[in-house]
Amino acid sequence: MPPSVPSLSRRVARTLRTSLFAQVSCALVLGIVVGKLWPDTATALQPLGDGFTRLIKTVISPLVFCVVVVGIAKAGDLKAFGRIGVKALIWFEIASTAALVIGLVAANVGGPGKGMNVDPSSLNTAAVDETTGGGHLPTTTEFVLNALPQSFVGAFAENELLQVLILACLVGAALLHLGHTKVPKILPAIEQAQEIVFAVVGFIMRLAPLAVFGAMAHLVGNYGLGVMRTYAKLIVLCYVAAALFVVLLAVALKAVTGLSLWKFLRYIREEMLLALGTASTESVMPRVMQKLRRAGARDDAVGLVLPTGYSFNLDGASLYLSIGTLFIAQAVGVDLSLGQQITVVLVLMLTSKGMAGIPGSAFLALSATASSLGAIPAGAVALLLGVDRIMDSMRVVTNLLGNCVAVFAVSRWEGALDTARAKRTLDGEDAPTPDDTGKGAGGTEDAPVPVGTGKGADAEAGIGAPVPGIPAQKTEDLKEPAPEAG
């Protein structure tokens, strides 16, 4: 007898039980419905999203530390790591500048604020102060000093990624200097800690649908859908400009690595949907690091480029800031000259680098830009209060894709990318299985990528299964440094 075909309801139930993408998609839709129908109740659901983000943040610092230390130690060459850092910064500056220019061109062509004729004195500037908490963007000197850790424990306790990166570089360099014969137990211990962190990520990710539901219900319940009609032209312009930038990212990725951004989007669809629902790229950072490593990017490149990009490569924020600056200028009837617009780009190139982790940083950057021009009332940034939260989806997607493309591009530039393996993975042909053995990124043996022990939804996205083709590496094999990459 032919095997019986499961009924539609059984197939749907199985998909919801095993697919994180399906779970998060349903949670997203339910959040919108609840926010629209019961806004008062929906606004009380924000702790679901905030709690999930807090849990994820607890593992980001130890994860970055472990990945970077292991990456440096196994690369066997601190100079190669330094080259990766320099190349990453060059890529970040080019990408963020391109985003700023695209934003300015889009705002000039689209004119989202023209015809509004807003009187700045009628705006509630106190709301901006409430959003920013009276904070300010750091100066260049403050930014550099804040990147230097004051204590080893403090960097982890305060979740300062740049400080953790510096500590990880120092520890990795110390391991290379001492050699594995003098401290034979340190590297295996860090690798084991890394496995524990990834297992914890697997457990936390089971709460992702609840987080998306709470965050989306709060957004719709608090702001409503009417704000989208009020600022329709600005919203559409920002998303169109972001789409154009993503197309440029796709072209750049194809030209540099031969990889398809659209296949990569399908590969990280669960993480992308979660980032959209929670309006946070930090919520998916551990999982994205894991998937980038599985897709052939070497540990040291992933461990340095992706976390650094969270502070230096805010492409979506750059797009929004340049469009937002011209929007408020047009809304209050100020016509900025070409020279003033060039000044906008130069100012935002600096202010956007200090935005990460600061409450209301977009408003602070816009206020600083308005003040530097002297032609736009600083209080006019209050015009964007109603629409800022709607822009989070655009910023999150663009920031995340920009940083992932940077990892692939810099890895390829440095010779730290297994392109053949990346293509197999993005094509779905390199699915991890427990018995696979072989070679790691770049054709060299590497330790297995540590993963969690979850099943179901987590197993589908890769958590709970070893990376294909990477056997465990013994400590004795690390006594001699590997050849310099690139």
Q: Does 107 have pLDDT greater than 50?
A: yes
CA dist 479 → 69, 81, 170, 176, 475 (Å): 16, 18, 19, 10, 7
pLDDT value, residue 411: 92
Q: How far is 296 from 305, CA to CA, in rounded Å?
A: 14
Query: What is the phi/psi pair of residue 370, to 5°?
Result: -60, -40
pLDDT value, residue 55: 86
Q: Which residue has the tokens 């797009």?
A: 319
CA atoms in the 13 A half-sphere facing the CB of 401? 33
- Partnered with residue 417 across adjacent β-strands are 297
Q: How far is 271 from 265, CA to CA, in rounded Å?
A: 9
Cβ contacts of residue 450 below 8 Å, gap of 6+?
A: 191, 194, 195, 197, 198, 199
For the ranges 25-34, 181-190, 352-361, the lowest mean pLDDT is seen at: 352-361
Do residues 381 and 119 make contact, with C-beta atoms less than 8 angstroms apart? Answer: no
Give the mean model confidence (pLDDT) for residues 151-180.
Answer: 84
pLDDT value, residue 257: 92
pLDDT value, residue 1: 46
Do residues 370 and 349 make contact, with C-beta atoms less than 8 angstroms apart? Answer: no
Give the mean model confidence (pLDDT) for residues 110-139.
Answer: 63
Do residues 241 and 106 make contact, with C-beta atoms less than 8 angstroms apart? Answer: yes
Per-residue model confidence as pLDDT tens digits over 212-263: 888 888 877 776 666 566 677 888 899 999 999 999 999 999 999 999 999 9
Considering the chain, what percentage of its residues have pLDDT values greater than 70?
73
Q: Which residue has the tokens 């001492």?
A: 178
- Partnered with residue 297 across adjacent β-strands are 417
3-state secondary structure of 398: helix
pLDDT value, residue 457: 34
Q: How far is 259 from 250, CA to CA, in rounded Å?
A: 9
- The tokens for 170 are 């120092």
Residue 129 burial class via C-beta count within 10 angstroms: exposed 0-12, middle 13-18, buried 19 and up: middle
Amino acid at 473: Q
For the ranges 69-83, 328-342, 393-407, the lowest mean pLDDT is seen at: 69-83
Cβ contacts of residue 139 below 8 Å, gap of 6+?
A: none
Residue 404 burial class via C-beta count within 10 angstroms: exposed 0-12, middle 13-18, buried 19 and up: buried
Do residues 354 and 143 make contact, with C-beta atoms less than 8 angstroms apart? Answer: yes
Do residues 321 and 418 make contact, with C-beta atoms less than 8 angstroms apart? Answer: no
Give the mean model confidence (pLDDT) for residues 453-473.
Answer: 36
Do residues 128 and 367 make contact, with C-beta atoms less than 8 angstroms apart? Answer: yes
CA dist 258 → 168, 263, 293, 417 (Å): 31, 12, 17, 11
What is the torsional sign of CA 472, 477, 478, 483? negative
Q: Does 47 have pLDDT greater than 60?
A: yes
Do residues 81 and 304 make contact, with C-beta atoms less than 8 angstroms apart? Answer: yes
Number of residues written out for the chain:
486
CA atoms in the 13 A half-sphere facing the CB of 397? 23
Give CA angle at 283 (279, 287), nearest 5°. 130
pLDDT value, residue 440: 36
Cβ contacts of residue 335 below 8 Å, gap of 6+?
A: 329
pLDDT value, residue 128: 54
> Which has the closest alpha carbon to 233: 376, 396, 107?
107
3-state secondary structure of 376: coil
pLDDT band at 378 (very low <50, low <70, confident <90, very high): low
- The tokens for 361 are 């940083």
What is the torsional sign of CA 6, 10, 16, 22? positive
- The tokens for 177 are 């200097």
Give the mean model confidence (pLDDT) for residues 439-454.
Answer: 37
Buried b (16+ CB within 10 A) or exposed e, 144-161: eeeeebeeeeebbeeebb
Q: How far is 55 from 396, CA to CA, in rounded Å?
A: 19
> Which has the closest alpha carbon to 104: 322, 375, 349, 332?
322
Q: Which residue has the higher pLDDT, 406 or 194?
A: 406
Cα Dmax for the chain = 81
Q: Which residue has the tokens 């010779």?
A: 415
> Which has the closest alpha carbon to 278: 53, 21, 39?
53
